[in-house]
Structure 1
């Protein structure tokens, strides 16, 4: 990853772009059940036109998310990528929910928070609804769990929510937002 000194945007080198596009194409073709009726050529053209989105996808890939197209918004012509790794991305685990939660810990602070990492990567945390829809295309988080976007009313009271899949069922739970676990990370989404 390099940062362009001219415009301050995060960009990949041409070699990194080419490598990432090969990975994304192979994953797209291997998992057609996630995006039936979509063509890689159209996704590829959008990605090449938006290098800042490629950088975000690179960050998703670098942290173990294995991003792939899961939907196409016909109104906006956006392709929607989610982290499709079998378990919550390894490079994003052991994080509390947000900055406020991180600062509230007196000791044993995690290195980061889910919302800050997502913002730095240019992606959004999945909502509970998105997470449930996502689980319809596969079985994810069978051993791990993922923070999801928490409603302000819950966060205001000190909590945060996370989801996982157990017993062939998607569960939503709560924890103090300052908690963190080695098996809990977060999944993100990106519109391209």
Structure 2
């Protein structure tokens, strides 16, 4: 990943305040995790704060959803009720974007995730997120596509309808105003 700009100390304080408020409003997302521990991690990782700020700026509403004991990292995932508004109308990846002859979207989900410094959720992570609330009831989100599907020109996405999480397929070059992607960041 290229060197990313860093947030000013004022921007860092503001972002940490936003994240703390969201953390306190949604205790079911992070049982047995203390905010003070999360904040220490955030303050010692300014490059991660930049990525979190980009998640916030694109309306992902990132929140802590877990802790990986093996790597000593907190897991932040986009918890906006619908697919982040600032990350919609994107085809799946650069290959798909380059294959479009006309009406190209502005970017691809994979490229934008890389620019932000996050990973697109895989199907398992997406399904786990859905155990914490109801997400994508009106929108859908690209999820990491297995190589065997991608090699054949496809990509997969998920949403939640009828109290059920669905996994669908589409051509990787397709894009829709109601489809974006959700990301995960390890801090």
2:165 aligns to what SS in structure 1? strand
Of the structure 1 ranges 70-79 and 85-94, higher mean CA displacement relative to structure 2 is found in 70-79
| Paired position in structure 2 for 1:15 | 10
| Paired position in structure 2 for 1:159 | 154
Deviation of 1:75 after TM superposition, in Å, equals: 1.3
Deviation of 1:120 after TM superposition, in Å, equals: 0.3
| Paired position in structure 2 for 1:191 | 186
The alignment's TM-score, normalised by the length of structure 2, stands at 0.98
| Paired position in structure 1 for 2:22 | 27
Q: 1:18-51 CA deviation, whole Å, 9 max, x = no partner?
A: 1000000000000000001110000000000000
| Paired position in structure 1 for 2:55 | 60
| Paired position in structure 1 for 2:137 | 142
Which 4+ stretches in 1 moved above 3 angstroms? none
Of the structure 1 ranges 161-170 and 8-17, higher mean CA displacement relative to structure 2 is found in 8-17
| CA contact 2:4–2:50 (8 Å) conserved in 1 | no
Structure 2: unaligned runs, 5 residues or longer: none
In the alignment, structure 1 residue 73 sits paired with structure 2 residue 59:
no
Please, which of 104, 107, 115 is the counterpart of residue 112 of structure 1? Answer: 107
Please, which of 41, 48, 56 is the counterpart of residue 46 of structure 1? Answer: 41
Distance 1:46 1:8 in 2: 20
Distance 2:90 2:58 in 1: 13
The alignment's TM-score, normalised by the length of structure 1, stands at 0.96
Structure 1: unaligned runs, 5 residues or longer: 1-6
The CA RMSD measured in Å over matched residues stands at 0.9
Deviation of 1:9 after TM superposition, in Å, equals: 3.7
Deviation of 1:10 after TM superposition, in Å, equals: 2.0
Deviation of 1:8 after TM superposition, in Å, equals: 4.1
| Paired position in structure 2 for 1:174 | 169
Number of residue pairs the alignment of both structures matches = 186
